[in-house]
Amino acid sequence: KTTVIDGKSIANKILKDLKVAVQEHTDKKHRAPTLTAIIVGDDPSSKIYVKNKVKTAHFVGIKTEVLNFPDSISETKLIKTIQVLNSTKEVDSVLLQLPLPSHINPNIYELISPEKDVDGFTSANFGKFCLDKETIIPCTVLAVQKILQEINIDFTGKNALICGRSKHVGLPIAMLLHSNFKNAVKGFNANTIICHRFTPVDQLTKFCQNADVVITATGVPSLIRGYMVKKGSVIIDVGISRIIDPQSLKNKIVGDVNFEEVKEVAGFLTPVPGGVGPLTVAMLLQNTFTIARKRNP
Ligand code: NAD
């Protein structure tokens, strides 16, 4: 029987504990932790994500500021904004919501001060992560780690497949799965394969059929089908796509996994929505609080 993992309830528990911890922190006369989010352009998904992050931040007692810039913002202005946030004492963490318009250098997030880099995307923080050093870890990685810890299966020497190799999501998740459990960032000691857009589907199928844990982050609906999945394996779906439901003709959010098919085969499965997503937000706020405590001990 497949266990469908309730990401929302795991997230709610983390958020309740975090709320208590933030309250204790402010009771000691510290100011509330702060998170500043920058959105550039009108991407509707970005707006929804940031709105959700802000709402959840308020629940735990984290103060937020959202800077909305038009698509037309110059790179110079954006750079200046980041520099000001870096040097503003009251700003604990800075989040640059992706994607950015094409005229902005995608590496601009490198300018965020590593100590305020709440997503852990800067080379300084990601480099430390790759070298098994204590650092700020990307929120999706922490979300996947939390889910695997909840399932509590030892993946040492087992086969992990990661679909997607983006520098912000797929690659850091692969870093987590292959790395040592004894590290500062507790890894999973798994034999780890990374597939990407150039992986032929027959190869993807073979790797998937052989995988004890699959983590997929591609944004390709129904990439992982029932026949590809090893019986009893763990399937974690990070993907988010908006599609039109062929039956109701309404907008619908789906992941990379064909949920109905895979539910018949997998041992553990995360739904979309309600799986990795809420945990990612909870981890963002946990990172914000960790940063705030460091800056304001
Ligand atoms: P991206 O577009 O940067 O990367 C997609 C990756 O998928 C690429 O590495 C590409 O090579 C790979 N890919 C594409 N087609 C493939 C195929 N047929 N087979 C195997 N691999 C294929 O996207 P991203 O920023 O890495 O995000 C990935 C997905 O995760 C998106 O759907 C995004 O919305 C979602 N996401 C979810 C959360 C969350 O909290 N749940 C957070 C971040 C991103």
Residues in Cβ contact with 207 at an 8 Å cutoff, skipping those fewer than 6 apart = 161, 193, 195, 199
Q: Same domain for 77 and 160?
A: no
The residue contributing the CA closest to ligand 1 atom 20 is: 196
Residue 160: pLDDT band by 50, 70, 90 thresholds? very high
Residue range(s) defining the domain that contains residue 206: 139-277
Report the mean per-residue pLDDT for the chain.
97
Q: Does a structural domain hold residue 151?
A: yes
- Are 93 and 194 contained in the same domain? no
Residue 228 lies in a domain: yes
Give me the mean pLDDT over the 11-31 stretch. Answer: 97
- Is 119 noted as a catalytic residue in this protein? yes
Res 47: pLDDT: 93
pLDDT at 297: 84
> For residue 241, how far is its CA from the centre of ligand 1 (angstroms)?
10
Quote the tokens at residue 149.
């810890």
23 pLDDT higher than 90: yes
CATH number of the domain to which 174 belongs: 3.40.50.720
Co-location of 89 and 166 in the same domain: no
Residue 273 counted as domain residue? yes
What's the rounded mean pLDDT across residues 219-225? 98
Q: Do 210 and 98 share a structural domain?
A: no
Helix, strand, or coil (residue 214): strand
| pLDDT band with cut points at 50, 70 and 90 for residue 212 | very high
DSSP character string of 86-155: HH-TT--EEEEPSP--TTS-GGGGGGS-GGGBTT--SHHHHHHHHTT-S-PPPHHHHHHHHHHHHHT---
Question: Using a 6 Å CB cutoff, which residues line ligand 1?
Answer: 140, 163-166, 168-170, 195-197, 199, 204, 217-220, 223, 238-241, 276-277, 280
Residue 10 lies in a domain: no
Mean pLDDT of the 79-97 span: 98
DSSP class of residue 183 equals S
| Residue to substitute in 46, 48, 166 for testing ligand 1 pocket (most ligand atoms within 8 angstroms of CB) | 166
Using omega within 30 degrees of 0 as the cis cutoff, is the peptide bond preceding 297 cis? no
Question: Are 196 and 68 found together in one domain?
Answer: no
Same domain as 178, residue 99: no
Q: Mark whether 72 and 178 lie in a shared domain.
A: no
Does residue 133 form part of some domain?
no
In a domain, 169, yes or no: yes
Determine whether 19 is exposed, middle or buried from the number of CB atoms within 10 Å of its CB (0-12, 13-18, 19+). middle
Longest dimension (CA), the chain: 59
Catalytic residue selected from 119, 212, 237, 256: 119
Domain CATH code at residue 75: 3.40.50.10860
* Paired strand residues for 159: 191
pLDDT, tens only, 127-144? 999 999 999 999 999 999
* Count of structural domains, the chain: 2
Which phi and psi angles does 236 have, rounded to 5°?
-115, 125
Decide if 206 is inside a domain: yes
Would residue 7 count as lying in a domain? no
